Structure 1
Amino acid sequence: MSDWTAADVPDRTGRTAVVTGANGGLGLETTRILARKGARVVMACRSLDRGERAVEDVRVTDPDADLDVRELDLASLDSVAAFADGLDEPVDLLVNNAGVMWGPYRETEDGFEAQFGINHLGHFALTGHLLDRLRTGDSTRVVTVSSALHSRADGVPDEFDEREYDPRVAYARSKLANLLFAYELDRRADRLTSAACHPGWAATDLQTRGAEIAGNRLRLLVTRAANALLAQDPAAGVLPTLYAATAPDVVGGGYYGPSGFMNMRGPPERQASSEASYDREAARRLWSRSEALTGVEYDLSPSGEGDEADAVGD
């Protein structure tokens, strides 16, 4: 695993992947490599214009790439449902990649704190809506992209107080929620593999967008300088995602990240996430809360009928 690169991604011909946030950063690199390896990639993008520009970018080097741009706004549960309703084909891989980072307090269309609402709840709803399509795929996987910064959160609160809002804490909590969800999905599901990953420190616009939204020019300049000096490029940062999505030895409930200095860069390897991320009771509470907030209930019974047993995964 230590020398694994994008060249090691196996042939994906005949498989369909859905990648959220596919128009830029790690999502675009994920799309690029999966398409190069023969996959049909449904690019789930908030902006169709940016999505089409991303298609043009990919096809400069891969003119035969099978790409399908579709609108998905994870800040809107209606948009999530509409996207899923419009996708009438088996899905072999779902990469829950899109996200927002830091920035001032904002709410989604449905009134959720934005980082929790987009990073976790939007993907929770999307995965639930796509469950039937995912379960018809061959060797189906769901890969949820978290962050090493999840370790700064000791839990996911029931409410967010705008008066005491710290965007960095909120981001860490949303990334912890990603892991609690990914691990719980793998415990509950019997026909797919759910794994998680983190990119280490990759230079994308995710870090700078929050400073731009906040209008904090100093933080923007510092972030850009740090990215230039310390971060790896998106082509390297995407390797843990690609590994979790395609490598044959990936295990359900596994967590994959860079193996180099402070797990910020380097080839992918399986790692341990924070102690809080393995709290099964917290995962069950978050699952129930997420179903209540989104209105999306998962039917994970083997036959597709009846109630999912509470003891699954224990």
Structure 2
Amino acid sequence: MSERITTPFGFETTALEVVEGVDLSGRRAVVTGGASGIGVETVRALAAAGAEVTIAARNVEAGRQVASELSASTGNKQIFVAPLELTSQDSVKAFVASWDGPLHLLINNAGVMATPLTRTPEGWELQFATNHFGHFTLTLGLFDSLRAEGARVVNVSSAGHLASPVVFEDIHFERREYDRWQAYGQSKTANVLFGVEAGQRWASEGITMNALMPGGILTALQRHITPEQLQERIKLRGGGKPLQLKTPEQGAATTLVLAVSPLVEGRSGLYFEDCNEALPNEPGMTDGLAAYAHDPEAAAQLWKVSEETLKIGETA
């Protein structure tokens, strides 16, 4: 097993601190969900480092407002906006069709959390359809652009993955009682497994993919749960103790470590938290990486199931 990767950064580090001294001129990035929460801070840091950034957002108007504000504050005029609704495969494919040229950084940041049971028109459970299927189609669709110059794909996962492995026998809760946290958990486990299998398939293509836990941050992601439910989750996540929350600026830092740090060059299938590679999750821990989230067999099965469900063939 490779030695655990540690960096000079930690819990309190901000995204802008991670990119200090980094030059991303000539690099092109896409940030899904870049119009809100930690997505905004991710775009800010990439733009501050000189990258051309496309905000892929459901709400294009909100995206334009963010792009305008960040262009003014960073001095980077290369911030663009494109519509993307991850729940809609047609929208994802339209985004892919509109992309032209190389892509150096794909930040799969957008997501939904703890939604009431909702199904897409295809009958898929909403959280899995959005958090995994949407990003799977997007990433594979952009494969040629990513391969063009060797790229990094960063998947924003969560400690929520500890709530559930991917339950392949019933991903969409058709035969078991729906639990919003288990549904969220398996979608976040999928974000990690995606990188594990991508590392096997794409190593020779110069594309790497890693995942992260941004930390506990109060954003619009919590819109589907009540304040009382949120406090209960915060207590649970803190192991009964108050959970130390991060600012959005701190929450985006680990994303930027995986996007720009030379320490992760050429590595795939990693899972980071607080800007460092996570330790294995052990009984009683409320953080770390679950064994099932980096199981190669589960990763291969997820890729196969995703291709079959989405009716897309092997790209590489």
TM-score, scaled to structure 2: 0.84
Partner of 1:115: 127
Partner of 1:281: 297
2:229 corresponds to which letter in structure 1? Answer: R
Q: Indicate which of 269, 277, 284 corresponds to 2:276.
A: 269
Residue aligned with 1:94, SS: strand
In structure 2, runs of 5+ residues without a counterpart are: 1-6, 280-288
Partner of 1:182: 195
Residue aligned with 2:154, SS: strand
Partner of 1:96: 108
Give me the whole-angstrom Cα distance separating, in 2, the residues matched to 1:222 and 1:253: 31
By how many angstroms is 1:229 displaced? 7.6
**Cα pair 2:166 2:187 within 8 Å, conserved:** no
Partner of 2:216: 201
2:23 corresponds to which letter in structure 1? Answer: D
- Offset from partner CA, 1:108-133 (integer Å, 9 cap, x none): 24321000000000000000100011
Residue aligned with 1:249, SS: helix
Number of residue pairs matched?
285
**Cα pair 2:86 2:134 within 8 Å, conserved:** yes
Partner of 1:219: 229
1:57 corresponds to which letter in structure 2? Answer: E
TM-score, scaled to structure 1: 0.84
Q: Indicate which of 177, 181, 194 corresponds to 1:164.
A: 177
The percentage of aligned residue pairs carrying the same residue is 39
Partner of 1:63: 75
By how many angstroms is 1:157 displaced? 3.0
Q: Indicate which of 55, 61, 64 corresponds to 1:52.
A: 64
Partner of 1:145: 156
Give me the whole-angstrom Cα distance separating, in 1, the residues matched to 2:214 and 2:233: 17
User: CA, structure 1 residues 127+158, in 2 after alignment: closer, same or farther (shift >3 Å)?
Assistant: farther
User: CA, structure 1 residues 252+221, in 2 after alignment: closer, same or farther (shift >3 Å)?
Assistant: closer
Higher-RCO chain (CA-CA 8 Å, sequence separation at least 6): 2
2:8 corresponds to which letter in structure 1? Answer: S
Residue aligned with 1:142, SS: strand
Partner of 1:254: 270
User: CA, structure 1 residues 132+99, in 2 after alignment: closer, same or farther (shift >3 Å)?
Assistant: same
**Cα pair 1:75 1:109 within 8 Å, conserved:** no
1:181 corresponds to which letter in structure 2? Answer: F
Give me the whole-angstrom Cα distance separating, in 1, the residues matched to 2:146 and 2:85: 20
Cα RMSD over matched residues?
Answer: 2.3
By how many angstroms is 1:72 displaced? 0.5
Partner of 1:25: 37
**Cα pair 2:105 2:153 within 8 Å, conserved:** yes
